[in-house]
Structure 1
Amino acid sequence: MTRIRELDTLRGFAACGITVVNTWQHTAGALERRVPTPADWIVENLLQGRFYPVFSFLFGVSFVLFLRSAARRTPRPWWPLLRRLGVLACLGLLHRFVSPGEVLLPYAIAGALVLLPASFLPRWLVLTAGVGGTLWAVLAEAGGIWLVPGLFLLGMAVIEYAPGPRALAPAFAVSAPLAVALTGAWVYLWAHPETFRFPYTVAVYPLAGLASAVAYCTGVLLLARRAPGVGAFLQPLGRMTLTAYLAGSLSAAALAPLLARDGTRLGALAAAAAVLAILAGFAHWWLARFRHGPLEWAWRCLTWGELVPARRSPDPAPPATAPRDLSGGPAARDLGN
């Protein structure tokens, strides 16, 4: 199945953001006394709550893509899908010993309880339920984990409707100023707690997070079109998101006691950047030799109950009579795959 490179770009971008936020949160948890710093303001108002909505949305997208792929292999694609979610739940249970706020277990549960039944519904109803569920989570629960089911359904609906690339620029043009306005409103409200008397004031924070997530994602995709290096850096991370997520989380937990000694909190950002650089380098190296990331390969094997080929086959040598281009390489090489 041909990979959708834009989705890999977004997954890689979300993995970067989650790694930064997780490192920050683990460091904050190790602090005996927390004195706010400018770095706190940046993370909490520009990064916190901006990336898990992206992961949730993309999980709904991946659900549909997996179901379509499984339907070509078996007449009952829901069984491998349930096994896939079961493996994810087991990973989440183990991960909870390191990071109690992890998302894999809730994702697996919500996938089985929300996405699987929704796969039998017409797409317009899935879209309606996604919009309604997201609005309910924002207005009634001030976001948080309650956003996950609605965003799952929105991702599921969007991939079914498959909006074209022309939608990126208008989406960015609308979401970017909205994100700035909502974030500014939240900063003001936080500085003036008396305004929280209005019952829906707390909805400003999750709305700011959602608007920022849309702006960040559309902005990254637009940037990747003009700067191919952006996609080249993010896509390998996006192809092994599970490995990157768990490795980043374990690194954050291990480094937290050391990073907590830095009163400026800048050490957490530097550590997150270093971890991401290592993960990106590893992803490039690994995927040049193997088809899937380490945990992604194990996940696939357990899903299908068989050993899936892992190592890439060497490129076949071109025939002696193959036509050659001006650079000396085979003329038919690398036609977009």
Structure 2
Amino acid sequence: MAQSSIERQSSLDALRGFALLGILVVNIIAFATPYYGTGVPDPMAQSRVSHAVMAGIALLFEWKFYLLFSFLFGYSFTLQMQSAERDGKAFVPRMLRRLIGLWVLGLLHGVLLFHGDILTTYAVMGAVLLTLRSRAEKALAKLAVGLIVGTATVWAIIGILSVLDVDAARDSKALAQITSALTAFRSTPSGVIAQHVEELKGVWVVTALMQAPTALAMFLMGCIAGRRGLFSASSPTAGTSKLYKQCLIAGACVGLPAAVAYAYGTTRLAGTPWDLLGLSLSLLTAPLLTAAYIGGMQMLFRSRWGQWWLGVLAPAGRMALSNYLMQSLVCSVIFLAYGFRMMGRVSPLDTLLIAFAIFAVQTVISRWWLGRFAYGPVEWLLRAVTH
């Protein structure tokens, strides 16, 4: 493999590793506290430091990193399709088997470890992407923009309707659900599974109205980027550097102010209809901040310290599926009845530090594993099913 091709692959893997860190930072909060996303004040997050940590997570992480992961899924989809064409192999049957395997893994993940699973969503939306693979770039771009705008509009309408219809008993109902969930997650392994199944009943609705359409939108944008060889070695270095800088500046200038508004809404106005309006704004602009992250990280990878960052992040990204599931397993042991039952007992700052510690260990393990094996353990399993 040519050196430029190796560097290109490393930058893609490093972006996946970066996305994994962001996903962990968001997901671990849901493991640490049943109050997350309910709008009810969390007793463990009442200090100024806790408020600052939660605001920072909302500002920089929420609704950005799963979009980055989705973009990279779409990009890789195109690379796999091009590879199959070059090798003269049938792409659709192989990809369908891969998506079915991903869906089964996601279902097990959602029931056993984490009800916020994204793998089932990726599997279903991946099947939709499969039907759109031959569409023109312009059509894909229009559909992607339409999905983003449409999703944001739906949540803006929900927010407006919430302003007109305030449920005075909402907090008491939510608190009862939180108490029940906390008891279940701390009880027994079977209690954890039962609670996950209960949580999944509500998650499907949010997934259909929020995660699925936005993930598909980023799949489509990733496909376009893959067709154009955004990270390809054949692209002129000066041109791509300029593009990355433009993504960083433009994305940050538009996406960051909107993220500030969202962070303020979700921390200071949590549980109010204005929280949903802030969410709508974030859904509309988060792809721009994601683009800024892509541009910024690609510029970092080309900097003086680029090789060091590639060496740290790329191995974790190469076995992203294994690491994603391992994150949930470790968090389940720490916070749920599978292990130490720390849910509701850890502050946001300590939770964030745990997330960074988990990821740091994963970077070391990933480097060690890939020094001995070609694929991560779950990647190997999925590859066996696919091929």
Smaller-chain TM-score bracket? 0.7 to 0.9
The equivalent of 2:256 in structure 1 is 180
* Identity over aligned pairs, percent: 30
C-alpha distance in 2, partners of 1:303/1:289? 22
1:34 aligned partner:
42
Change in 2 beyond 3 A, CA 1:139/1:302: same
User: C-alpha distance in 2, partners of 1:286/1:119?
Assistant: 34
Structure 2 distance, partners of 1:225, 1:12, is: 16
Give CA deviations for 1:124-179 in whole Å, capped at 9, x if unaligned.
32222222222222223467313112111111112112345231011101112222
2:223 counterpart residue number: 156
Task: Report if aligned partners of 1:70, 1:80 keep a CA contact under 8 Å in 2.
Answer: no
Matched-pair contact (CA < 8 Å) for 1:53–1:148? yes
What code does the residue aligned with 1:251 have?
A: V
User: Which residue of 2 is the match for residue 322 of structure 1?
Assistant: none
Residue 295 (structure 2) aligns with: 218
Offset at 1:284? 0.4
Paired residue secondary structure (2:63): coil
**TM-score, length-normalised on structure 2?**
0.71
What does the per-residue CA deviation read over 1:274-315, in whole Å, with 9 as the maximum and x for residues that have no partner?
A: 2111111111011111111111111111101xxxxxxxxxxx
Please say if residues 30 and 260 of structure 1, whose CA atoms lie closer than 8 Å, have aligned partners that are also in contact: no
Alpha-carbon spacing, 1:300–1:188, altered in 2? closer, same or farther (3 Å): closer
Q: Which of 81, 86, 90 lines up with 1:67 in the alignment? A: 81
Q: Which of 83-92 and 162-171 deviates more?
A: 162-171
Per the TM alignment, residue 189 of structure 1 is displaced from its structure 2 partner at its CA by 4.9
Structure with greater proportional helix content = 2
The one-letter code sitting in structure 2 at the alignment partner of 1:256 is F
Q: Aligned partners of 2:147 and 2:14: how far apart in 1?
A: 27
Counterpart for residue 378 of structure 2: 295
How far residue 216 of structure 1 moved from its aligned partner, in angstroms, is 2.0
Partner in structure 2 of residue 320 of structure 1: none
Distance in 2, Cα, partners of 1:106 & 1:187: 25
Deviation at 1:111, TM superposition (A): 0.8
Per-residue displacement from partner, 1:73-114 (whole Å, max 9, x unpaired)?
4442211111111111110111111211201011101111x2
Cα pair 2:244 2:294 within 8 Å, conserved: no
Q: Is the 8 A contact 2:148 2:217 kept in 1?
A: yes
Q: Which residue of 1 aligns with 2:361?
A: 278
Distance 1:298 1:218 in 2: 33
Indicate the residue corresponding to 2:28 in structure 1.
23
Which of 337, 343, 350 is the equivalent residue of 1:267?
350
Q: Which residue of 127, 136, 140 corresponds with 1:126?
A: 140
Task: Provide closer, same or farther for how the CA distance between residues 79 and 284 of structure 1 changes in structure 2, counting only shifts above 3 A.
Answer: same
Give me the whole-angstrom Cα distance separating, in 2, the residues matched to 1:196 and 1:271.
32
- Residues in 2 aligned to 1:189 and 1:302: alpha-carbon distance in whole angstroms: 44
Instruction: State how 1:1-337 maps to structure 2 within 5 Å.
Output: 4-29=9-34, 34-35=42-43, 36=45, 37-38=50-51, 39-97=53-111, 98-112=113-127, 114-141=128-155, 144-145=210-211, 146-163=213-230, 164=235, 165-166=240-241, 167-189=243-265, 191=268, 202-226=279-303, 227=305, 228-257=307-336, 258-260=341-343, 262-304=345-387
Report the TM-score when normalising by structure 1: 0.81
- Measured in 2, the distance between the counterparts of 1:261 and 1:96 equals 20
Aligned length: 303
Amino acid in the other structure paired with 2:29: W
What is the SS of the residue equivalent to 1:96? helix
Structure 1 residues 260 and 169 mapped into 2: Cα distance closer, same or farther (>3 Å)?
same
The CA RMSD measured in Å over matched residues stands at 2.7
Aligned-residue offset at 1:187: 4.2
Q: Name structure 2 gaps, 5 residues minimum.
A: 157-208
Match of residue 187 from structure 2: none
- Distance, in Å, in 1 between the alignment partners of 2:313 and 2:349 is 23
Higher mean alpha-carbon deviation, 1-10 vs 288-297, is at 1-10
Pick closer, same or farther for the CA change 1:5–1:188 going to 2, 3 Å: same
User: What is the one-letter code of the residue matched to 2:295?
Assistant: T
Give the corresponding residue for 1:317: none
Shift in CA distance, 301/188, structure 1 to aligned 2, threshold 3 Å:
closer
Say if 1:73 and 1:86 are closer, same or farther in 2 by CA, change over 3 A. farther
Aligned partners of 1:302 and 1:233: how far apart in 2? 29
Runs of at least 5 residues in structure 1 that lack an aligned partner in the other structure = 305-337
Q: Give the letter aligned to residue 171 of structure 1.
A: C
Q: CA contact under 8 A between 1:9 and 1:221: conserved in structure 2?
A: no
Structure 2 residue identity aligned to 1:60: G
Letter in 2 for 1:34: D
